[in-house]
């Protein structure tokens, strides 16, 4: 059984911090320097060294570890792994979600959690104070820059007299502080606690910084948000990443976790990693055109019927369906979404869909849902921006879309233009941003890619297939 009673911890320093915790805090910040006040004593009791009714697992709110989709589905590689382990071993767990990796590590050191499901770098210094499980991933530090603003450096020698920003990450501080001595002509700028990896790359994208140090996986994710970012070259060797456990975790559970990473993880690794790399896969137009001729005709009547009900061009609805499932009516993902429109069970219930594998039912419901989103947008948003924002809301939820529009207003951009809203959506993943908006964290880069792809598929379908005007009824075909 998995008890998902997660909570996000935002903490503050208490003057009555016990001497032991101060010692642990100093030990932790040896590897994770900060410029603001120290991390507080966490607000839940110390775990006892006995078999609990549930295992408390710390994790981190981030694009790679854990987040919640608009329909309430929990996702993230580390979330998937810990729930997979719990299900296979029939163990109850409770997630506690932190905004910072250093807070999650402190929860382990102070026995507020049994283990940390998150990517902690297995560095020699950290291995002296943390109990690591077998590694499950690697990352390689790289220099990142904006290829539209700066010339590509090819080595550290090219960065002489340049400022290179280093984010507030354990990997950066523990492994690379010696670069100051090795390359004294480079100005290594170790950033404040608030500036994490994504914010670093946001600043590089905006031209506020020119060069930064990040890891290969974070750069690949950021390139989905800001395509002008580019990795210049690698520094050093790949670093292994792994979970860490409390020193009070019973040996039977630790052995079970070790077995999982040694035996089970290699079997499911490609499946789990593929789940979060789909958005980076290039479009295969050969496969798309083949599907237009061989697969699309099976569902043509369903799409045209949905057009009559929703007043959306059937080719737009087909483009959405191709983005969702590649027109595979029997598609079932490992996260539980299924059918040609890839509906979750929560979404299907909300739309009144009884059988998600019934293409007519799923397409009809999704089309009417799109129509309701379109109608619910403010009257100040006009087409084609209105349509693109409808698609974004379909993917990320109307609440997060509205947060992005509010960010537009804060940044003196037009909240009624998609070109400006798409610029702000990725900011929803930045801690210094999502902490100031109503609906909080979201993987805002995903709806940007989602809308871009649907538009590309729609453009091709308009080129390859005819429109449909039954009885000359009004059909919404957006101006391009």
113: tokens are 């959690």
Q: Which one is predicted more confidently, 27 or 391?
A: 391
Q: Which one is predicted more confidently, 391 or 193?
A: 391
- What pLDDT was estimated at residue 46? 46
3-state secondary structure of 325: helix
User: Which of 22-26, 85-89, 104-108, 347-351 shows the lowest mean pLDDT across its residues?
Assistant: 22-26
The DSSP annotation for 272-305 comes to HHHHTTGGGSPP-HHHHHHHHHHTGGGGHHHHHH
Q: Which one is predicted more confidently, 4 or 335?
A: 335
- pLDDT of residue 89 exceeding 60, the answer is yes
367: tokens are 């089309």
Residue 15, Cβ density class (10 Å: 0-12 exposed, 13-18 middle, ≥19 buried): exposed
The per-residue pLDDT for range 182-237, each reduced to its tens digit, is: 778 888 887 776 677 778 888 898 899 999 988 887 888 788 778 889 999 998 77
What class has domain 141-236? Answer: alpha beta
Q: Are 285 and 157 in contact (CB under 8 A)?
A: no
113 pLDDT tier (thresholds 50, 70, 90): very high
29: tokens are 């910040």
Most trustworthy range by pLDDT among 31-35, 47-51, 410-414, 428-432: 410-414
- What pLDDT was estimated at residue 258? 95
Q: Are 36 and 126 in contact (CB under 8 A)?
A: no
* Cis-peptide into 384, omega within 30 deg: yes
- pLDDT of residue 411 exceeding 50, the answer is yes
3-state secondary structure of 238: coil
The per-residue pLDDT for range 246-260, each reduced to its tens digit, is: 999 999 999 999 999
| Beta-carbon count within 10 A of 53 CB | 7
- pLDDT of residue 51 exceeding 90, the answer is no
- What pLDDT was estimated at residue 255? 96
Rg of the chain over CA atoms, in angstroms? 24
Which residue in 31, 258, 250, 279 sits closest to 136, CA to CA? 258
Residue 188, Cβ density class (10 Å: 0-12 exposed, 13-18 middle, ≥19 buried): buried
Element (H, E) at 53: none
- pLDDT of residue 48 exceeding 70, the answer is no
Q: Are 168 and 193 in contact (CB under 8 A)?
A: yes
The per-residue pLDDT for range 302-359, each reduced to its tens digit, is: 999 999 999 999 999 999 999 999 999 888 765 667 889 888 777 788 888 888 888 8
Q: Are 216 and 137 in contact (CB under 8 A)?
A: no
Q: Which one is predicted more confidently, 275 or 237?
A: 237
64-90: average pLDDT: 84
- What pLDDT was estimated at residue 251? 93
11-31: average pLDDT: 39
Which residue in 305, 283, 329 sits closest to 458, CA to CA? 283
Element (H, E) at 363: helix 359-376
Record the pTM.
Answer: 0.62
- What pLDDT was estimated at residue 17? 36
Asked if 8-135+242-278 and 141-236 have one fold, the answer is yes
306: tokens are 């949905």
- pLDDT of residue 29 exceeding 70, the answer is no
Q: Where are the domains of the chain?
A: 8-135+242-278, 141-236, 282-472
Residue 15 CA to residue 21 CA, distance in Å, equals 12
- What pLDDT was estimated at residue 45? 42
459-467: average pLDDT: 90
- pLDDT of residue 242 exceeding 90, the answer is yes
- What pLDDT was estimated at residue 175? 56
Which residue in 131, 133, 60 sits closest to 97, CA to CA? 60
Most trustworthy range by pLDDT among 29-38, 222-231, 338-347, 379-388: 379-388
| Mean pLDDT for all residues in the chain | 81
Q: Given phi > 0 = left and psi -120 to 50 = alpha, else beta, which region is 412?
A: left
366-379: average pLDDT: 94
Q: Which fold has domain 282-472?
A: Lysozyme (1.10.530)
Residue 82 CA to residue 272 CA, distance in Å, equals 12
Burial call 117-129: b when 16+ CB within 10 Å, e when fewer = bbbbbbbeebeee
For the domain with range 8-135+242-278, which CATH number is right: 3.40.190.10, 3.30.70.1560, 3.90.1150.10, 3.40.50.2000? 3.40.190.10
- What pLDDT was estimated at residue 19? 38
The per-residue pLDDT for range 123-177, each reduced to its tens digit, is: 877 888 899 999 998 888 899 999 999 999 999 889 988 999 987 665 555 556 6
Percent of the chain with pLDDT over 90: 41
Residue 265 CA to residue 272 CA, distance in Å, equals 9
Residue 172 CA to residue 439 CA, distance in Å, equals 31
């Amino acid at each position: 059984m998995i008890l998902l009673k997660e909570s996000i911890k935002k903490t503050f320093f208490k003057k009555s911090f016990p001497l032991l915790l101060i010692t642990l805090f100093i030990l932790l910040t040896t590897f994770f320097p900060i410029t603001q006040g120290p991390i507080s004593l966490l607000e839940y009791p110390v775990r006892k060294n006995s078999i609990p009714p549930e295992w408390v697992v710390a994790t981190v709110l981030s694009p790679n570890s854990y987040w919640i989709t608009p329909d309430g589905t929990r996702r993230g590689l580390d979330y998937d792994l810990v729930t997979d382990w719990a299900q296979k071993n029939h163990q109850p767990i409770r997630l506690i979600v932190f905004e910072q990796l250093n807070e999650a590590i402190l929860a382990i050191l102070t026995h507020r959690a049994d283990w940390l499901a998150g990517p902690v770098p297995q560095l020699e210094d950290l291995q002296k104070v943390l109990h690591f499980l077998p590694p499950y991933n690697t990352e390689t530090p790289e220099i990142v820059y904006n290829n539209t603003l700066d010339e590509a450096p090819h080595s550290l020698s090219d960065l002489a007299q340049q400022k290179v920003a280093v984010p507030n990450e354990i990997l950066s501080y523990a492994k690379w502080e010696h670069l100051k001595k090795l390359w004294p002509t480079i100005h290594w700028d170790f950033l404040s606690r608030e500036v994490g990896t994504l914010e670093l790359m946001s600043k590089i994208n905006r031209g506020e910084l020119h060069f930064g140090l990040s890891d290969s996986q974070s750069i690949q994710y950021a390139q989905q948000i800001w395509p002008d970012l580019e990795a210049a070259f690698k520094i050093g060797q790949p670093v292994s990443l792994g979970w860490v456990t409390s020193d009070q975790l019973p040996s039977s559970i630790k052995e079970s976790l070790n077995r999982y990473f040694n035996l089970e993880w290699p079997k499911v690794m490609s499946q789990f990693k593929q789940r979060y790399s789909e958005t980076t896969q290039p479009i295969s137009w050969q496969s798309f055109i083949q599907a237009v001729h061989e697969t699309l005709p099976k569902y043509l009547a369903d799409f045209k019927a949905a057009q009559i009900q929703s007043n959306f061009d059937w080719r737009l609805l087909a483009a959405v369906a191709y983005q969702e499932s590649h027109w595979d009516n029997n598609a079932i993902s490992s996260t539980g979404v299924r059918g040609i429109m890839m509906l979750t069970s929560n979404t299907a219930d909300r739309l009144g869909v009884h059988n998600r594998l019934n293409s007519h039912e799923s397409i009809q419901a999704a089309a009417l849902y799109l129509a309701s989103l379109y109608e619910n947008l403010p009257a100040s948003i006009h087409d084609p921006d209105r349509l693109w924002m409808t698609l974004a809301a379909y993917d990320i939820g109307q609440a997060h879309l509205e947060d992005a529009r509010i960010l537009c207003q804060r940044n003196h951009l037009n909240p009624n233009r998609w070109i400006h809203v798409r610029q702000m959506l990725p900011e929803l993943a930045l801690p210094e941003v999502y902490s100031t908006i109503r609906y909080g964290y979201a993987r805002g880069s995903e709806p940007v890619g989602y809308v871009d792809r649907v538009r590309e598929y729609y453009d091709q379908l308009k080129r390859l297939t005819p429109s449909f005007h039954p009885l000359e009824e009004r059909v919404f075909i957006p101006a391009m």
